[in-house]
């Protein structure tokens, strides 16, 4: 339809004439309330940002000469982080002559990766970074999604319980 006729039709219905596909031949336009369209698009974007999972990287530091019990404790922390849906950066720190034996640090990181393989996968393989050797383990995808949902529900529950415990306006706080 001619442009003039389309503009007149838009004015008669008190709507805006919005070009949807300018590269098409002929160009495609749509009659809509542009302000309402922009508002709804902003609401969708805000909702998407709110539902976006926040990636947190927790760090666990180890030494090359670690006691078996200390290793188990650190491994437990790594497992807890992975179950919580967080990535874990594991750092092995070398001191003094230990720097001449990076293969021992590599073996320690591989052992830890093997021990937590059921909870996460190695995202970045061990690499030497000065006096440290670093590796990143990420939780499995499907588990990370369910844990993120669980964490959001827990935060909402915590917020609602705080509101319920807050004294009502005009009342004295419980003694």
Same domain, 96 and 77: yes
CB 136 within 8 A of CB 88: yes
Domain that holds residue 21: 3-46
Q: What is the CATH number of the domain that holds 87?
A: 3.30.110.10
Same domain, 61 and 135: yes
Low-confidence ranges of the chain (pLDDT < 70): 53, 142-154, 157-175
pLDDT value, residue 171: 59
Q: Give the residues across from 16 on adjacent strands.
A: 32
Q: Kind of pairing, strands 87-93 and 57-63? A: parallel
Q: Kind of pairing, strands 87-93 and 132-139? A: antiparallel
pLDDT value, residue 62: 92
Residue 13 placed within a domain: yes
Count of structural domains, the chain: 2
pLDDT value, residue 165: 65
Q: What angle do CA 74, 132, 130 make, to 5 degrees?
A: 175
Residue 52 placed within a domain: no
pLDDT value, residue 85: 85
pTM value > 0.75: no
Same domain, 78 and 126: yes
pLDDT value, residue 19: 82
CB 121 within 8 A of CB 114: no
pLDDT value, residue 146: 58
Q: Which secondary structure element, helix H or strand E, spans residue 161, and what is its range?
A: helix 141-165
Q: Give the residues across from 61 on adjacent strands.
A: 91
Same domain, 40 and 116: no
CB atoms closer than 10 angstroms to residue 54 = 9
Q: What is the CATH number of the domain that holds 30?
A: 3.10.20.80
Same domain, 31 and 61: no
128's tokens:
């030497």
């Amino acid at each position: 339809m001619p442009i003039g006729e389309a503009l007149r039709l838009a004015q008669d219905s008190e709507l805006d004439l919005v070009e949807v596909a300018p590269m098409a031949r002929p160009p495609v336009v749509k009659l809509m309330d542009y302000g309402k369209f922009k508002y709804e698009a902003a609401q969708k974007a805000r909702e998407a940002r709110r539902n976006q999972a926040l990636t947190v990287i927790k760090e666990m530091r180890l030494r090359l000469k670690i006691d078996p019990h200390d290793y188990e404790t650190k491994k437990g922390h790594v497992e807890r982080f992975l179950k919580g849906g967080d990535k874990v950066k594991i750092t092995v720190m070398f001191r003094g002559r230990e720097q001449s034996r990076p293969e021992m640090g590599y073996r320690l990181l591989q052992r830890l990766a093997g021990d937590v393989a059921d909870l996460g996968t190695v995202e970045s393989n061990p690499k030497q970074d000065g006096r440290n050797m670093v590796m990143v383990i990420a939780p499995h995808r499907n588990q990370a999604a369910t844990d993120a949902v669980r964490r959001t529900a827990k935060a909402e529950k915590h917020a609602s319980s705080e509101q319920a415990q807050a004294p009502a306006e005009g009342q004295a706080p419980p003694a």
